[in-house]
Amino acid sequence: MAELRDEAAAICDELAELRRAIHREPELGLDLPLTQQKVLAALDGLPLEIRRGESLSAVTAVLRGARPGATVLLRGDMDALPVTERTGLPYASRVDGVMHACGHDLHTAMLAGAARVLSARRGDLAGNVIFMFQPGEESEGGASRMIDEGVLDAAGSRPVAAFGLHVASALLPRGWFSTRAGALMAAADTMELTVRGRGGHGSQPHLAADPVQAACEIVTALQAMVTRRFDVFDPVVISVGSFHAGTASNVIPDEARLSATVRSFSPGARQRVLEEALRVVHGVAAAHGLSADAEFVDSYPVTVNDAAETTFATRTVTDMFGDSRFIPTPNPITGSEDFSLVLEQVPGAFILLGAGPPDSDPATAPYNHSAEAVFDDAVLADGTALLAELAMRRLGAAPEPGAAPAETVRG
């Protein structure tokens, strides 16, 4: 076990160099040509089958072990955020208004490192590893496109397990790993709605059909729905963050436009909140003789960790780094993640890794997405080693054809 850690530690300077190069030139969304180039350069010469994405600048790399066996998928996302960096770091973003404020530069470097370390172990490997370098995590649905383009079938057989890491610049002490079985992160759905009425003079509302009044009632009815229709132990959150209507105090407008974010923590609650929210919107509008159009966009499902794979991943962390480097995630995180789409099809686990700078207090340090969020290179080797070890062990535990499943090993 210590070996993979040592092998990752031996390349920590190269990992930091790659990470900083990506950090200096961050790119947004689905089209990340410079990042893709850096990944391809880092993988150059390794015994990998490499495919580039068609509708996005993804990289899918497959490592085939010396012996046949199952397939495991490892994923790292590569995109940055529209944030102007204020860290003052020597390798800070050189691109105005774009920053790796969510640490995806570290994910990319760790995944490339895992490809490197595992390639050197190809002779010991029974089975295949798919390395999924994904653009467009932040809201563009990069995982969904990569799935459409066949990432899950890249090795010829569906992965038996999928793992991903996410760094955090706060909350967790540096070098600590954390995860939980079941829901780890929320589903996020955006509801766009338009309440359609009939405009008129503000002094004669009875001759118009006022969309502002109905829209206000919709906002409060949605909050009442949250408290009256949902179990407090399987919660949902709705926040109407945008509300636009009208041009003047004495003019009733024709319509009001609202948008809301909807968060939920179980697939069942998610399905119900989406249905019930539409019912409330249409019902309140109809009660006042108006109509409404509402739809959900930019949707990411709940990130659900498989119980057995989470136990396996947790044990791998504590075997490698000791009990003191692992803390269970107490509650699901209200942020969302499109690795959820992979985990809907392949059992697996998503794991958090504390990566704040050494002198910062995890309770108060600027968190992911902040212009001041700092992620420390010191975690790169351990993140790389964990990804590689998860694949190595999980394939080692995969049953030989015809053999009984190796449940005891998998744990």
CB-nearer residue toward Zn ion: 136 or 211: 136
Q: Which stretch binds Zn ion (CB under 5 A): 98-106, 124-132, 301-309, 318-326?
A: 98-106
CB-nearer residue toward Zn ion: 143 or 161: 143
Number of residue whose CB is nearest Zn ion: 102
- Is 193 an interacting residue with respect to Zn ion (CB under 5 A)? no
Dihedral angle over CA of 115, 339, 242, 264, nearest 10: -150
Q: Which stretch binds Zn ion (CB under 5 A): 101-109, 115-123, 174-182, 297-305?
A: 101-109
Q: Residue 89, Cβ neighbours under 10 Å: how many?
A: 14
Burial degree of 156 (CB within 10 A; 0-12, 13-18, 19+):
exposed
- Min dist CB 242 to Zn ion, Å, is 23
CB-nearer residue toward Zn ion: 136 or 253: 136
Residues in a beta bridge with 192: 259, 295
CB-nearer residue toward Zn ion: 98 or 102: 102
Greatest Cα-to-Cα distance within the chain, rounded to the nearest angstrom: 82
Structure tokens at 194: 């338009």
Residue in the block written with tokens 């119900």: 272
CB-nearer residue toward Zn ion: 30 or 222: 30
- Min dist CB 324 to Zn ion, Å, is 26
Q: Which stretch binds Zn ion (CB under 5 A): 28-36, 95-103, 281-289, 383-391?
A: 95-103
- Min dist CB 337 to Zn ion, Å, is 7
- Min dist CB 138 to Zn ion, Å, is 7
Q: State the sign of the Cα–Cα–Cα–Cα dihedral 385, 390, 391, 392.
A: positive
Nearest to 130 by CA among 109, 148, 145, 147: 147
Residue in the block written with tokens 């075997």: 319
Interaction residues for Zn ion, span 102-161 (CB under 5 A): 102
SS3 152: helix
CB-nearer residue toward Zn ion: 87 or 194: 87
- Report the interface residues with Zn ion, using CB under 5 A: 102
